[in-house]
Chains A and B, each alone.
Chain A
Amino acid sequence: AQSVAQPEDQVNVAEGNPLTVKCTYSVSGNPYLFWYVQYPNRGLQFLLKYITGDNLVKGSYGFEAEFNKSQTSFHLKKPSALVSDSALYFCAVRDRGGTGGFKTIFGAGTRLFVKA
């Protein structure tokens, strides 16, 4: 069965410093990996995805993520954090489901606080 782990409930970082939000996954085949962000009182927004190809993928708002197959990880990164990046971040993995479809499983979420 597929699973996603976000080992940190909360990450604190100072504005201007690099940030990393961690994600590890488990799937039976090749994964589709995603990051989403949820701002306070707003819906969920897609940030970036990894399907195949280059292990470093770039997404919205200056975020990027590194796929590491040997460590089954897909950590979210940003070189310089902004206060406005403070939000709840979700990692997700898509694997093949029951009727030939694709279940998408989300992690429990990591809350990012960026201090000015």
Chain B
Amino acid sequence: EAQVTQNPRYLITVTGKKLTVTCSQNMNHEYMSWYRQDPGLGLRQIYYSMNVEVTDKGDVPEGYKVSRKEKRNFPLILESPSPNQTSLYFCASSQHGEGYTFGSGTRLTVV
């Protein structure tokens, strides 16, 4: 089944403890992206990647890192999480010109 797999689905962590949210797609898509969803703000793009080793900042990249060492994987790294990064995170992938396939989301709480 064609899908984007994110893990974990839920995560509660403490301020400053490094964490990684994994994202993997099995559709050979070139384009991958991370978004955070907050009430009233819609989806805001954190980072995106056009292909392996090619990444670029979205609108809210501060406090996040990404890497694209393989085409299928696009992990999101929070080196030192803070409470304002509490949010619902979505990974998405697509081919150029096509709509996104989204992962199921990761609900992150930073206390």
Is A40 part of the binding interface, using a Cβ–Cβ cutoff of 8 Å?
no
Report how many residues on chain A are interfacial, defined by Cβ distance under 8 Å: 27
Contacts of A98 in B (CB 8 A): 56-57
Stretch at the interface among B10-18, B20-28, B77-85, B95-103: B95-103
Task: Tell me whether A101 and B45 are in contact (CB under 8 A).
Answer: no
Contacts of B59 in A (CB 8 A): 103, 105
Contacts of B43 in A (CB 8 A): 44, 90, 92, 106
Task: Tell me whether B40 and A108 are in contact (CB under 8 A).
Answer: yes
Q: Name A's interface SS.
A: strand
Give per-residue flags for B38-67: 1 if the beta carbon is below 8 A from chain A beta carbons, else 0. Answer: 001111110011100011111100000000
Give per-residue flags for B87-106: 1 if the beta carbon is below 8 A from chain A beta carbons, else 0. Answer: 00010100011111111110
Contacts of B92 in A (CB 8 A): 44
Report how many residues on chain B are interfacial, defined by Cβ distance under 8 Å: 30
Q: Which of A85-116 contact B (CB under 8 A)?
A: 90, 92, 97-109
Q: A43-B104, A49-B98 are in contact. Are A99 and B50 (CB under 8 A)?
A: yes
Nearest CB of chain B from residue A93's CB, rounded to whole Å: 12
Is B31 part of the binding interface, using a Cβ–Cβ cutoff of 8 Å?
yes
Q: A44-B102, A106-B35 are in contact. Are A51 and B97 (CB under 8 A)?
A: yes
Other than the known A36-B102, A44-B100, A101-B48, what 6 A-B pairs have Cβ atoms closer than 8 Å? A43-B103, A49-B98, A102-B31, A103-B59, A106-B35, A106-B42
Interface residue ranges, B against A (CB under 8 Å): 31, 33, 35, 40-45, 48-50, 54-59, 90, 92, 96-105
Interface residue ranges, A against B (CB under 8 Å): 6, 32, 34, 36, 43-49, 51, 90, 92, 97-109
